[in-house]
Amino acid sequence: MFVKNSLLLAAALTAGSAVARLHGHERRHAHPKVDIEADVQVDKRAVGDVVTATIDGVLETWINEWSGLLATSSSTSTTVVQVPTTTAVPVVTSVPSAVESAVPAHTASPGSSGSWSDLPSNGQYSRAGFGGVSEAQTVGVLDWDYIGNVGVPWGSNIIQVEESVASQYKHVLRFEGSEAEPWNVIFWNTYGPDNKMTGFWAPNEALSFSLAQGEVKYVAIDDNSQGGWAAAPGKVPTTNFGQYAATWGEFDMSSEKNDGFSGWDVSCIIAELNGLEVQGMSICNHLGQDCSTIGRGLSSLLNAYTKNDQGNNHLAVSQASGPVRLVVKLDYA
């Protein structure tokens, strides 16, 4: 995908990721290692500037509405819905609630199985700790113009859980920390609390936590959620206009738009475009299969996104409808 403007806004960047418009029947292929171009510059654009980009071969033009700052309006009251099939909840416009590692992880009902990757014996998945379910919306004609469940309040569709109850949830990610140093992780929904594609700009955080050297933590994600996370040692870096710029992991869990399919991938698009460090990350299912990986410093690449892959919808890994069990290895070499 060729971008005429030096600023690549969120719409184009998310469009370059297959997760936002995943089709379960597509075959996934490895991508060879690419060379990183030096001295990539990303300029800040003002509100009202015209931005033009070629996305999947189609020339798109839009007005930049992102100022780099979030509105500080107070939360609007909503009716909390506890079942994911209900769609009567108003669109969320409240400021996201950050969940820090100091907050105890949520626990489910008794009767959890021994392994985090097991499934509930009764076939019923826990929603303990999740907020309400926001109403899904189609906000345009493009593939990525879809807002799934972002939680009520925003971000409550992504929670940290204890290992002892992780198996009770439908979509579970096991995060394995670096063996060298502590790392920090920040989660987001693709669409932010302003109902625009700003979820991956600071200060938006659906969930954040730290992983000590070699530590393991678990995250559960609610149905029909689309988003991602960035992970790095120390503070997670941002671009000069506030976008999270460490290597990303991206997900689409039990997408209603895609017949219940789920998908995931690793992406270093933002880091590369801004000339920043590419951290290593691996995402595989609990059997060590269906992997998307980027080696530290782009030393290896499999089913993952670099700046040269924007607009390619054949790289993300997909899984048919059902529970998801993923292992995320940080600082992957």
pLDDT band per the 50, 70, 90 thresholds, residue 308: very high
Dig out the tokens for 272 from the structure: 């590369």
Task: List alpha helices for the chain, DSSP H.
Answer: 10-15, 163-166, 269-273
Residues 330, 211 contacting (CB under 8 angstroms): yes
pTM assigned to the model: 0.72
d(CA 304, CA 328): 14
The CA–CA distances, whole Å, from 327 to 228, 282, 284, 330, 332 equal 14, 8, 5, 10, 12
Convert the pLDDT of each residue in 44-71 to its tens digit.
445 555 444 444 444 454 455 544 443 3
Convert the pLDDT of each residue in 66-90 to its tens digit.
444 433 333 333 222 232 332 233 3
Tokens 């309006």 -> residue: 73
Q: What is the mean pLDDT of residues 305-333?
A: 93
